[in-house]
A and B are shown apart, each in its own frame.
Chain A
Amino acid sequence: GAGVSQSPSNKVTEKGKDVELRCDPISGHTALYWYRQSLGQGLEFLIYFQGNSAPDKSGLPSDRFSAERTGGSVSTLTIQRTQQEDSAVYLCASSFYGGEDNEQFFGPGTRLTVL
């Protein structure tokens, strides 16, 4: 079946602009995660959605970052007033509640460049 998809693949924006990054999880997966991968670094957790529960936003680096998940499926990560330090690859993952080990399946990411 189809995997996790993300769009756009690459995004170049100017400092101060707002951007929206989209994630389509695997159909039937109830959990969705966002991670950020800065250049040469490991992945950093940003936010997690599980069904209709309140999201775990504890990893968001500032109030310029927000995310929503509509209808328990597609998620959008929004970065307002982008800064150069926001340049990174943003990865989305989804998992199926009740799976053997709740394996997270990753999308190909969105590379964000803030000029």
Chain B
Amino acid sequence: AQTVTQSQPEMSVQEAETVTLSCTYDTSESDYYLFWYKQPPSRQMILVIRQEAYKQQNATENRFSVNFQKAAKSFSLKISDSQLGDAAMYFCAYRSPGLIGSRLTFGEGTQLTVNP
């Protein structure tokens, strides 16, 4: 079974600064998807960024980018130019490839605070 670990329960960053959230995972599969989700106090899970394991290029979405190290099974999220609206709980998640029925396996989450 796959596992996802987020070792930083809490992180803080100054507005406009850069912060990196860590995630490691364990799997025996060679192909899979990795995700970062954001959960604000509204509880709505919002997809921030996704990475396919077979792609060597790191995914980017505006101010959000990942550092995907497949051999090390590491998938960190970098948030540049942090904004107050980035404050939320961030979850790293893993999904096996192919079938739509593949569940998401989540890490424990990292609570991000953005200080003005």
Contacts and interface: CB of A to CB of B under 8 A. Distances in A.
B91 A42 contact: yes
Interface residues of B, number: 23
A97 B6 CA distance: 30
Interface residues of A, number: 29
A50 B98 CA distance: 14
B103 A108 contact: no
B101 A42 contact: no
Contacts, number: 59
Given A89-B43, A108-B42, A45 B103 contact: yes
Interface in B26-58: 33, 42-47, 50, 52
Interface string A42-66: 1111001010000010010000000
B103 A33 contact: yes
Nearest to A102: B100
Interface of A: 30-31, 33, 35, 40-45, 48, 50, 56, 59, 89, 91, 93, 95, 97-98, 101-104, 106-109, 111
